[in-house]
Amino acid sequence: MKHLSGKNADTAPRFWRDDALPFIEARAIADGREVCYTRHSHAHFSIGAITAGRSTYMHEQMDCEVSTGTVVLMNPGDVHACNPIDYQPWSYVMLYVETPWLSDLQHQLGFSQDQAFRRFAVTHTTDRSLFDGLKNLYTVLTDTDQDILCKHSAAVEYFTEVQQCLNPGEQPLREANSRLERAAEYIRENCTQMLKLEDICEAAQLSPSYLIRAFKQHFGMTPHAFLINRRIQFAQEQLRRGKLIADVALEAGFSDQAHFQRVFKQHLAATPGQYQR
């Protein structure tokens, strides 16, 4: 179940949660002028992006100004606060990630030998790829047209990038073509189903972090993009047989006909109706 909450006022926070992805929560503030925090901490890892304006940022003993394009990071337990400057408007998005999930990802990536969380030394950065990536991940998570595989994959991919970008030891990819082929075959055979990342990993006997990175390197697209591409191929076959577009949309695994129409046109530069005719 998906949750998007918040009042109409721009100052009201909007929260997103999905029971299918219990390890992550998202929050957004469109106008933070009246949103003030006392110094506080979270039990889990937090990361945010200043999407407009500027604010103060207090982190442990540090106190500085951050502005549009800045990504802030808080380890579990880090005392911090962000507040407006002279009642100037500012906005941001935040992601809260359960520490065990992120610790496990760090372990998969080879950044820790055990399941202990490896704290980030960086408190904030203006790295453009991390900023754009966080905004994109927030958009994907809150998009009702995207399925769980897409959202989970996007989370793994982004936090892999965060870990590698802020840690000097990037881990090399190992050869695992046969397993990647098994992952691809599993997606092909089950493309009309609501696949989970865990399903593909189990079929291929690969960890999520490795699958996301190596699959894209090997096939030129993420597992989710591969899935959507295969669904479009399946839809083409059904359309060629003269099936109704609405029926094909559901059979191919899309949430509704409108979503199917958009994705189909993105892939083929033609509507399903134009293709069928």
* Cα 27 from Cα 141, distance rounded (Å): 11
Element (H, E) at 18: strand 14-18
Identify whether residues 8 and 25 lie together within a single domain.
yes
* Cα 268 from Cα 232, distance rounded (Å): 9
CATH code, 9? 2.60.120.10
Domain span including residue 114: 2-165
pLDDT of amino acid 3: 52
Identify whether residues 124 and 187 lie together within a single domain.
no
Identify whether residues 95 and 143 lie together within a single domain.
yes
What's the first-to-final CA gap in the chain, in angstroms? Answer: 38
* Cα 56 from Cα 84, distance rounded (Å): 6
Identify whether residues 133 and 209 lie together within a single domain.
no
Identify whether residues 124 and 261 lie together within a single domain.
no
* Cα 262 from Cα 245, distance rounded (Å): 13
Q: What's the structural domain count of the chain?
A: 2
Per-residue CA distances from 126 to 70, 232, 258 (Å): 5, 38, 37
Note the pLDDT tens digit of each residue in 9-67.
455 678 898 999 999 999 888 887 776 777 777 889 999 999 999 988 988 888 899 99
Identify whether residues 231 and 151 lie together within a single domain.
no
Which of 140, 158, 159, 162 has the alpha carbon at shortest distance from 150?
140
Last residue of a domain, one of 138, 165, 192: 165
Q: Are strands 45-52 and 24-29 parallel, antiparallel or unpaired?
A: unpaired
How much is the pTM? 0.80
Identify whether residues 154 and 183 lie together within a single domain.
no
Identify whether residues 91 and 201 lie together within a single domain.
no
Identify whether residues 62 and 116 lie together within a single domain.
yes
Last residue of a domain, one of 122, 149, 165: 165
Note the pLDDT tens digit of each residue in 135-172.
999 999 999 999 999 999 999 999 999 999 997 554 44
Query: Is the pLDDT score of 5 beyond 90?
Result: no
Identify whether residues 148 and 21 lie together within a single domain.
yes
